[in-house]
Amino acid sequence: MFNFKIHKSLIRTKAVLGFAFLAIFAAACGASSAEQQTNRRVEKKPPVNIVSDKPKIVAFGDSLTAGFGLAEKESYPYLLQEKLRADGYDYEVVNAGVSGETSLGGLERVDWVLEQENVWILILQLGANDLLRGLPVAKMKQNLATIIKKAQAKNIEVLLCGMLAPPTMGAQYQREYVTAFPDLASEFKVEFLPFLLENIALNKDLNQPDGIHPNAEGEKIMTDNVYKSLKPMLKK
């Protein structure tokens, strides 16, 4: 269940990366138009419902989950599937990422995703595009809370992935945004990954030219980040 030491971890992560988000956010703003163009080309359908007896782990998120700019085999859900198999876990990972997705967009399609058979775990990675568009944190938090409640109503465990905000958004917005994720994890007692892009952000060798989407090597690290938080939830 939720680790109540996450606030300390989050503060430490902010201390290391907070100043760097000036550069990240600038790059992200340039990348957002590409994401939005991709989003217009993608019809928001639920992932393919493969009839299987295997328990499913649904990776539900935006371009960071979808694997924007990468081949399918380079995306973190694909790599996560490979890692699970190598470690003897018999789960089926479903990539339910949509580039450009906001928390509202995720809420609008989550019922489709949760209707799949044998969904055991939902990896919830949304909120970065709410940040890029300067959408109200309270609304984002409400959308994410509703998604979590919908999953828990079906006895689906949730791993919530956090994100950081740059100081350019203003002190109040930054504070509200950064604390929204651990607050949700605490309220609903779900597993929590404080910063999805830890050890990736601002490293040009691990990111695509836009400066924010991980490249193939960065995806491997992101997969490790997710796997560390996911592993306590797994059963063999």
- Give 123: exposed, middle or buried? Use CB within 10 Å, 0-12, 13-18, 19+: buried
Contacts of 175 (CB under 8 A, 6+ apart): none
The pLDDT of residue 184 is 98
Is position 32 annotated as part of the catalytic site? no
Catalytic residue among 32, 62, 103, 213: 213
> How far is Cα 236 from Cα 225, in angstroms, rounded to an integer?
20
How many residues appear in the chain? Answer: 236
What's the CATH class of domain 6-41+51-233? alpha beta
The yes-or-no answer on residue 210 being catalytic is: yes
User: Which pLDDT score is estimated for 53?
Assistant: 82
Which candidate in 63, 75, 103, 229 is catalytic? 63
Query: For residue 236, what pLDDT is reported?
Result: 77
pLDDT attached to residue 126: 98
For residue 177 the two structure tokens come to: 């945004």
Count the alpha carbons within 13 Å of 5 in the hemisphere toward its beta carbon. Answer: 2
Q: For the whole model, what pTM was predicted?
A: 0.83
The pLDDT profile of the chain, 236 residues, written as one tens digit per residue, is: 544 444 444 444 443 444 344 444 444 443 444 444 444 333 444 444 455 689 999 999 999 999 999 999 999 999 999 999 999 999 999 999 999 999 999 999 999 999 999 999 999 999 999 999 999 999 999 999 999 999 999 999 999 999 999 888 999 999 999 999 999 999 999 999 999 999 999 899 999 999 889 999 999 999 999 999 999 999 97
Catalytic residue among 7, 9, 183, 210: 210
| pLDDT at res. 21 | 47
In this prediction, residue 51 carries a pLDDT of 54
pLDDT for 166 equals 87
The residues spanned by each domain of the chain are 6-41+51-233
- Quick check: is 7 catalytic? no
